[in-house]
Amino acid sequence: MNIERQEIEKLATLARIAIDDSTINEVSQRLSSVLDLVDQLQAVNTEGVEAMSHPMQATQRLREDEVTEINQREAFQAIAPETEDGLFLVPKVIE
Protein backbone atom coordinates (compact mmCIF):
# COMPACT_ATOMS: atom_id res chain seq x y z
CA MET A 1 0.00 0.00 0.00
CA ASN A 2 1.25 3.43 -0.84
CA ILE A 3 0.00 6.74 0.41
CA GLU A 4 0.18 9.52 -2.15
CA ARG A 5 1.92 12.77 -1.36
CA GLN A 6 -1.38 14.60 -1.68
CA GLU A 7 -2.97 12.39 0.93
CA ILE A 8 -0.11 12.97 3.39
CA GLU A 9 -0.56 16.71 2.92
CA LYS A 10 -4.27 16.37 3.61
CA LEU A 11 -3.61 14.32 6.75
CA ALA A 12 -1.03 16.82 7.93
CA THR A 13 -3.59 19.61 7.58
CA LEU A 14 -6.28 17.64 9.40
CA ALA A 15 -3.88 16.74 12.21
CA ARG A 16 -2.40 20.27 12.35
CA ILE A 17 1.11 18.95 11.96
CA ALA A 18 3.56 20.74 9.69
CA ILE A 19 5.49 18.22 7.59
CA ASP A 20 8.69 19.39 6.01
CA ASP A 21 8.80 18.84 2.23
CA SER A 22 12.07 16.94 2.51
CA THR A 23 10.59 14.35 4.86
CA ILE A 24 7.34 13.63 3.02
CA ASN A 25 8.74 10.53 1.31
CA GLU A 26 9.99 9.09 4.57
CA VAL A 27 6.69 9.80 6.32
CA SER A 28 4.78 8.23 3.44
CA GLN A 29 6.96 5.13 3.52
CA ARG A 30 6.59 4.64 7.26
CA LEU A 31 2.85 5.23 7.29
CA SER A 32 2.50 2.78 4.40
CA SER A 33 4.34 0.05 6.27
CA VAL A 34 2.07 0.52 9.31
CA LEU A 35 -1.02 0.48 7.09
CA ASP A 36 0.21 -2.74 5.48
CA LEU A 37 0.32 -4.23 8.97
CA VAL A 38 -3.16 -3.09 9.95
CA ASP A 39 -4.64 -4.02 6.58
CA GLN A 40 -4.62 -7.65 7.77
CA LEU A 41 -7.88 -6.72 9.47
CA GLN A 42 -9.65 -6.36 6.15
CA ALA A 43 -9.51 -10.13 5.56
CA VAL A 44 -11.37 -10.94 8.79
CA ASN A 45 -15.02 -11.88 8.63
CA THR A 46 -16.72 -9.68 11.21
CA GLU A 47 -20.25 -9.96 9.94
CA GLY A 48 -22.69 -9.59 12.80
CA VAL A 49 -19.92 -8.94 15.35
CA GLU A 50 -20.70 -6.12 17.71
CA ALA A 51 -18.04 -3.38 17.97
CA MET A 52 -16.49 -3.22 21.43
CA SER A 53 -15.73 0.06 23.13
CA HIS A 54 -15.59 -0.82 26.83
CA PRO A 55 -14.74 -4.32 28.10
CA MET A 56 -17.39 -4.21 30.81
CA GLN A 57 -20.09 -2.66 28.61
CA ALA A 58 -20.06 0.32 30.94
CA THR A 59 -22.05 3.36 29.98
CA GLN A 60 -21.52 6.98 30.91
CA ARG A 61 -22.72 7.62 34.43
CA LEU A 62 -25.09 10.42 35.30
CA ARG A 63 -24.72 12.58 38.37
CA GLU A 64 -26.70 15.28 40.11
CA ASP A 65 -26.46 18.62 38.37
CA GLU A 66 -24.51 20.32 41.13
CA VAL A 67 -21.45 22.52 41.10
CA THR A 68 -18.52 20.35 42.17
CA GLU A 69 -15.53 22.29 40.87
CA ILE A 70 -14.23 25.55 42.17
CA ASN A 71 -12.95 28.27 39.86
CA GLN A 72 -9.19 27.86 39.39
CA ARG A 73 -8.65 30.23 36.52
CA GLU A 74 -5.56 31.78 38.01
CA ALA A 75 -3.89 28.44 38.62
CA PHE A 76 -4.63 27.30 35.08
CA GLN A 77 -3.57 30.56 33.48
CA ALA A 78 -0.33 30.65 35.42
CA ILE A 79 0.96 27.88 33.14
CA ALA A 80 -0.39 29.32 29.87
CA PRO A 81 1.98 30.60 27.16
CA GLU A 82 0.25 34.01 27.05
CA THR A 83 -2.71 35.55 28.87
CA GLU A 84 -4.31 38.95 29.26
CA ASP A 85 -7.07 40.04 31.65
CA GLY A 86 -8.00 36.46 32.44
CA LEU A 87 -8.09 35.39 28.79
CA PHE A 88 -5.82 33.02 26.88
CA LEU A 89 -4.03 34.94 24.16
CA VAL A 90 -3.50 33.48 20.67
CA PRO A 91 -2.32 35.16 17.44
CA LYS A 92 -4.84 37.45 15.78
CA VAL A 93 -7.51 35.45 13.96
CA ILE A 94 -9.36 38.28 12.14
CA GLU A 95 -7.37 40.82 10.19
Residues at the site binding other proteins, with contacts judged by CB under 8 A: 3, 8, 11-12, 14-19, 27, 30-31, 33-42, 44, 46, 49-56, 58, 60-61, 63, 72, 75-76, 78-82, 88, 90-93
Counting DSSP H helices and E strands in the chain, the numbers are 3, 2
CB of 6 to other proteins, least distance (A): 13
Query: Which of 25/33 has CB closer to other proteins?
Result: 33
Closest to 24 in 3D by CA, of 10, 8, 38? 8
In whole angstroms, what is the distance from residue 38 CA to residue 31 CA?
11
